[in-house]
A and B are shown apart, each in its own frame.
Chain A
Amino acid sequence: MIGDFLWLIPAFPLAGVLVNGLLGHRLPRMLSGTVACLAVLGSAVVSVMGLLHLLQTPAGQAREIHQTLFPWISTGSFQTSVSLMLDPLSAVMACVVTGVGFLIHVYSTGYMAHDPRYHRYFTYLNLFTFAMLLLVLADNFLLMFVGWEGVGLCSYLLIGFWFQKPSAAAAGKKAFLVNRVGDFGFLLGMLFIFAVFGSLDYRVVFDKVAAEPGAITATLTAICLLLFVGATGKSAQIPLYVWLPDAMEGPTPVSALIHAATMVTAGVYMVARCSILFVNAPAALLVIAIIGAATALFAATIGLVQNDIKRVLAYSTVSQLGYMFMACGVGAFAAAIFHLMTHAFFKALLFLGAGSVIHGIHEEQDIRRMGGLMKWMPITGFTFWIGTLAIAGIPPLSGFFSKDEIIWYSLAGPMGHWAFWAVGVVTAVLTAFYMARLTFKTFHGQPRMPEEIRSKIHESPLSMTTVLTALAVGAVFAGLVNIPEAIGHRLHLPENSIAAFTHFLEPSIVEKKEAALLIANAAGNAPVGFVRPAPHVDHALELPLMGLTFVLALLSIALGASWYVRRPGTATALAARAPALYSLLLNKYYVDEIYSAIIVRPGMAFSRFLWRGVDVLIIDGLVNAVAWFFGIASRLFRVVQSGYVRGYAAGMLAGALIVIWVLSR
């Protein structure tokens, strides 16, 4: 039975960590990379087997497999065991992590081929896969937290992988510290859950909440907001998104795996996993929807003007994560997970394509010094175009289905509102435009790199282009698992192929109709009055709105072509006409500077006070005073230690005589 083999999924990468971590420096490079790839392939195979098993289970039966490995903490009323759970949600996540993860491992064998610390890179990468699998497969909050912290650690190690570069070391530190802020919120939320429910097991907590819907709305709102603070840290949402763009200092495959496809989705996964808690706390859902929408729009505008190929993609990732949170916030959790899945394919594809470009033109990352690369790198260029079209939402590529589902539910979902819908559409337009700008500036138009580099440009090795092709296939077809009802019914598709992904996820995630009921119920008890379920929106609107976003996306791609290929000076001229706005966007709204002024610098000043004032003066002063006293005292008594044996003997004799004299009195 698959239930007895669940432990294999995290065990394979852990074995890879042990082999590469302990013996890696003695293994030949070839073997070291192969071990790492095979470890992830092994868990991918088991994950897919688990997914198939769940798919074959009839819908009526419980699609959930538990495996308890061993009891972990058992003190009085607090019991936690290391146990894994495979349900539709965690199966999908495990397949995405191991599937995309495997492809990126393979790509890394080519990309990192000349790095002196090859085996250590793969150790970290496998450790990351292990932690991420623990996060998604855990069946209680505590074990999830172990994975949560584990991926944060690996993220730090891999961003700072080239720690000889000061900027990489600083970026790693920044990521770790910002994540710690979020993790603190998550930890508090977890402790709060334990205080209220007396357990950290998903089943126990969720069943208790489901048994009495709307009973403890205020408490749940606090819990959910704390959990969401954790999600903003890990999934790079306002206000804790600042680490993600800097994380691009790491090797490009790492950016693809950790900072685009998998780790940053941990927050979305967590919110979807706890959907039953969130639908009972509508105020928290509203906060999530607003933050998600704000992040999506905000990051997309920054992405419009950035010049570093990886930074554009980084802001795009932040923006797409904002979409996912907006979907969660309006109550369409399945749509968020769907977008998470398709995004994993096309964003990994785009990042690896960017890596291929950087690799091919000798570590150049500035798109102002690229252009016309299609001629030299046809496979990279072609697959990059597929990624661009997918993220821009061009049918029938995967991004179209997932993004339009989110945009639709931001209007028609349980917490939908026309404002969310407007933000979704505007962001989709901006996304299509900045991706078109990126692709046109990189692969088309006049080559702008120096002459001496031009002759050395080459297409990447087979290990990299194969992976790009495989991901491109995923980016094209992944959307077909969840064809929206509006299209499916129009095309008279068989009933079981429509919205199949959403229906598959139903056992793990609160389904939309039920969510609407629970939200309405909880909103009656809500401490805040402004939460109201969305008005009914006519389903007939879905297709026209879909068409609208599609046409707008096409128009922005065409606009990108005209600005950046046909008349290359247009954008620069436009920027010159609004210099203030342009520099505001180019400098990312000065958020880093603001944080530096209001948090980092006061913090540094306070730390300096603690260092110079409290630590050096008071604490060190006290310790030194004690040492000084004993120094003086011992200087007096040290005279006795003459070092002459007979001196000591005379002392002993005198002492003995004194004792005898005293006793004999």
Chain B
Amino acid sequence: MAWNAPVPFASWVMLSGVLFSIGAVGFLIRKDPIIMFMCIELMLNAGNLLFIAAARYLGIMAGQVFVFFVMAVAAAEVAVGLAIIVAIFRTKSTIDVDEMSGMRG
């Protein structure tokens, strides 16, 4: 395979799947909300990568448009999320997510 031969689509799908799985598992096993945020970003970017790859291989620009949306929404979500974390820290002096179980039914 030549060094500049196009990467096959299946590889992109696999990479995206691996990134998503790392994000999902990280979200489930870590207690630090900052790390959990990073995991969320990882999952979002796994999705973005798949969109871009699909757009490239299918020749449809809609996938790239979606990516812009995802990035914009992700930025907003992080801003809100970090603000919430700061607010929680001020009231509870901790940001351990397992401490935040006040909504238990």
**Chain A contacts to B: CB under 8 angstroms:** 638-646, 649-650, 653
Report B-chain residues with C-beta under 8 Å of the C-beta of A645. Answer: 36, 97, 100
Cβ–Cβ contact A644 & B97, under 8 A: yes
Residues of chain A with a CB closer than 8 A to B98's CB: 644, 646
Partner of B104, one of A641, A646, A653: A641
Q: Which residues of B contact A650 (CB under 8 A)?
A: 28
Q: How far is the CA of A415 from the CA of B102 in the complex (A)?
A: 85
Residues of chain A within 8 A of B29, CB atoms compared:
646
A643/B101 in contact, CB under 8 A: yes
Partner of A644, one of B24, B27, B101: B101
Q: Which of B23-52 contact A (CB under 8 A)?
A: 24, 27-29, 36
Pick from B28, B100, B101, B103: contact of A653, CB under 8 Å = B28
Instruction: With both chains docked as a complex, state the minimum distance between the C-beta of B55 and any C-beta of chain A, in angstroms.
Output: 22
Of A641, A646, A649, the contact of B103 (CB 8 Å cutoff): A641
Measured between C-beta atoms, what is the minimum distance from A545 to chain B in Å?
91
Q: Indicate whether B105 reaches chain A with its CB closer than 8 angstroms.
A: yes
B residues with a Cβ closer than 8 A to A are 24, 27-29, 36, 97-98, 100-105
In the complex, 11 of the A-B residue pairs with CB atoms within 8 angstroms, ordered by the A residue number, are A639-B105, A640-B105, A641-B103, A641-B105, A642-B104, A643-B100, A643-B101, A643-B104, A644-B97, A645-B36, A645-B97
* B102 in contact with A643 (CB, 8 Å): yes
Residues of B within 8 A of A641 (CB): 103-105
Chain A residues with CB below 8 A from B101, complex form: 642-644
Task: Give the complex CA separation of A639 and B36 in angstroms.
Answer: 24
- Most chain A CB within 10 A, of B102, B103, B105, is at B105
Q: A649, B105: Cβ atoms under 8 Å? A: no
Closest partner residue, chain A, to B105 (CB atom): A641
CA gap between A643 and B99 in the complex, in Å: 9
Please, how many angstroms separate the alpha-carbon atoms of A28 and B79 in the complex? 60
Q: Closest A residue to B31 by CB, please name it.
A: A646
User: Once bound together, how far apart are the Cα atoms of A645 and B88, in whole Å?
Assistant: 14
Which partner residue on chain B sits nearest A638 by CB separation? Answer: B105
Question: What is the distance, in angstroms, from A46's C-beta to the closest C-beta of chain B?
Answer: 67
CB-CB < 8 A to B104: which residues of A?
A: 641-643
- Chain B residues contacting A643 (CB-CB under 8 Å) are 100-105
Closest residue of chain A to B98 (Cβ to Cβ) is: A644
Are A646 and B102 within 8 A (Cβ)? no
Q: What separation, in Å, do the CA atoms of A383 and B31 have in the docked complex?
A: 95
Q: B99 CB to closest chain A CB, in angstroms?
A: 10
Cβ–Cβ contact B105 & A646, under 8 A: no
Contact status of A646 and B100, CB under 8 A, knowing A638-B105, A640-B105, A641-B105: no
| CB neighbours of B24 from chain A (8 A) | 653
Residue of A nearest to B102 (CB): A643
Residues of B close to A638: CB separation below 8 A: 105
A649 engages B102 (CB within 8 Å) = no
Q: Tell me which residues across on chain A come within 8 A of B100, comparing CB atoms.
A: 643, 645
Q: For residue A642, which residues in chain B have a CB less than 8 angstroms away from its CB? A: 101, 104
What separation, in Å, do the CA atoms of A649 and B24 have in the docked complex?
9
In the docked arrangement, what's the CA distance between A98 and B80, Å? Answer: 69
Q: Report A544 CB to chain B, min CB distance, Å.
A: 97
Chain A residues within an 8 Å CB radius of B36: 645
Q: Which residues of B contact A649 (CB under 8 A)?
A: 27-28
Distance between A117 CB and nearest chain B CB, rounded to angstroms: 49
Q: Give 8 closest A-B pairs by Cβ, nearest first.
A: A641-B105, A643-B104, A643-B101, A638-B105, A645-B97, A643-B103, A646-B28, A649-B27
Across the interface, name the chain B residue whose C-beta is closest to A634: B105
Question: Chain A residues with Cβ under 8 A from B97's Cβ?
Answer: 644-646
Complex contacts, B102 vs chain A, CB 8 Å: 643
Q: How far, in angstroms, from A650 to B36 measured CA to CA in the complex?
A: 13
CA distance A444 to B24 in the complex (A): 105
How close is B63's CB to chain A, nearest CB, in angstroms? 20
Q: In the assembled complex, how far is the CB of residue A636 from the closest CB belonging to chain B, in whole angstroms? A: 11
Please give 17 more A-B residue pairs, beta carbons under 8 A apart, in addition to A641-B105, A644-B97, A644-B101: A638-B105, A639-B105, A641-B103, A641-B104, A642-B104, A643-B102, A643-B103, A643-B104, A643-B105, A644-B98, A645-B97, A645-B100, A646-B29, A649-B27, A649-B28, A650-B28, A653-B28
Return B25 CB to nearest CB of chain A, in Å: 9
Shortest beta-carbon distance, B95 to chain A, in Å? 12
Q: Which residue of B lies closest to A645 (CB)?
A: B97
Shortest C-beta distance, B77 to chain A (Å), equals 15
Cα-based distance from A446 to B100 in the complex (angstroms)? 89
Cβ of B28: which chain A residues have Cβ within 8 Å of it?
Answer: 646, 649-650, 653
B39 nearest in chain A by CB position: A649
Q: In the complex, what's the smallest C-beta–C-beta distance from B33 to chain A, in angstroms?
A: 8
Cβ of B47 to closest chain A Cβ, rounded Å: 12
B87 vs chain A, min Cβ distance (A): 15
Chain A's closest residue to B24 (CB) is A653
CB distance from A633 to the nearest CB of B (A): 13
